[in-house]
């Protein structure tokens, strides 16, 4: 099955290069919780595996993609800054991967605490990167990044704090939307319609406007799969 990632504050954070096979849920209090392993998926013929390790933060997973950086017209200085920030995150992700591959005999009583320490470090690094996104990109680039993000995630994008703020989501709306996401089960349909029903007409129009010009990705940031060239 293909599992979709949802956004903060109720995220299914996927370390989704298919070799990690684990998910971390970041709760509203910001503390990560380790969930059950993710099943590997069989791919449709139009997709091939191109392992991409998720940062666990969906906006960053979109920014990580080179073709998106090209679309944003990132200059050399920005590309270096972005690469440096991802390098710090990737070092922790590599440590997570190493811990997750330990055999039962290699694990000690410190295993769980160490794994949680690494998970919290990843969450802190990604949260810092998102908070400073407007220092990394100019306003037009941020708008285009969010447009691509909204195209990928659809109505679920409104659960992300940046989109939530731009749409002016109220506390009551946030509570209702997070309740919908929290009760959503894999395989259920209609979650986008349920979320859209919570939005006002103005918010729906703004969400459509935010998506901007259509952009087709070769790489799927939700899975790390790359569309086969035909």
50-77, pLDDT tens digit by residue? 444 677 788 998 999 889 999 999 999 9
The verdict on residue 5 lying in a domain is no
Flag whether pLDDT at 178 surpasses 80: yes
In three-state secondary structure terms, 157 is: helix
Res. 220 pLDDT band, cuts 50 70 90: low
pLDDT value for 203: 96
Mean pLDDT along residues 18-40: 37
The residue with greater pLDDT, 31 or 183, is 183
Number of domains in the chain: 1
Range of the domain at 191: 11-226
Mean pLDDT along residues 40-53: 39
pLDDT tens profile 147-168: 999 998 889 899 999 999 999 9
The verdict on residue 149 lying in a domain is yes
The verdict on residue 101 lying in a domain is yes
The verdict on residue 191 lying in a domain is yes
Flag whether pLDDT at 183 surpasses 80: yes
Is the Cβ–Cβ distance between 68 and 145 less than 8 Å?
yes
Is the Cβ–Cβ distance between 211 and 147 less than 8 Å?
yes
E-state strands within the chain: 11-15, 22-26, 32-34, 47-49, 219-220, 225-227
The verdict on residue 170 lying in a domain is yes
Flag whether pLDDT at 17 surpasses 50: no
At 51, list the tokens: 């392992």
The verdict on residue 79 lying in a domain is yes
Which of 4-13, 73-82, 173-182 is predicted with the least confidence, judged by mean pLDDT? 4-13
Flag whether pLDDT at 49 surpasses 50: no
pLDDT value for 107: 77
Flag whether pLDDT at 3 surpasses 80: no
pLDDT value for 83: 94
- Number of helices (H), then strands (E), belonging to the chain: the values are 10, 6
The verdict on residue 81 lying in a domain is yes
Flag whether pLDDT at 127 surpasses 70: yes
**Average pLDDT over the chain, rounded to an integer:** 75
The verdict on residue 184 lying in a domain is yes
The residue with greater pLDDT, 207 or 225, is 207
| 227 vs 30: CA distance, rounded Å | 33
Res. 230 pLDDT band, cuts 50 70 90: very low
pLDDT value for 188: 65
Is the Cβ–Cβ distance between 53 and 93 less than 8 Å?
yes
pLDDT value for 119: 87
């Amino acid at each position: 099955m293909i599992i979709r990632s949802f956004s903060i504050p109720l995220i299914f954070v996927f370390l989704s290069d298919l070799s990690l096979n684990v998910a971390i849920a970041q709760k509203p209090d910001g503390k990560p919780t380790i969930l059950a392993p993710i099943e590997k998926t069989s791919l449709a013929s139009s997709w091939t595996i191109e392992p991409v390790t998720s940062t666990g933060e969906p906006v960053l997973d979109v920014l990580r993609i080179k073709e998106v950086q090209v679309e944003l017209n990132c200059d050399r200085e920005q590309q270096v800054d972005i690469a440096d920030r991802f390098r710090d995150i990737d070092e922790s992700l590599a440590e997570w991967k190493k811990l997750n591959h330990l055999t039962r005999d290699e694990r000690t009583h410190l295993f769980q605490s160490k794994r949680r320490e690494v998970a919290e470090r990843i969450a802190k690094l990604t949260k810092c990167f998102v908070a400073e996104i407007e220092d990394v990109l100019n306003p037009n680039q941020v708008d285009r990044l969010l447009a691509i993000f909204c195209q990928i995630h659809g109505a679920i994008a409104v659960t992300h704090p940046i989109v939530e703020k731009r749409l002016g989501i109220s506390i009551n709306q946030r509570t209702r939307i997070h309740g919908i996401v929290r009760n959503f089960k894999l395989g259920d349909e209609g979650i986008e319609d349920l979320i859209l029903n919570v939005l006002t007409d103005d918010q729906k129009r703004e969400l459509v406007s935010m998506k901007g010009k259509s952009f087709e990705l070769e790489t799927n940031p939700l899975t790390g799969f790359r569309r086969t060239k035909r």
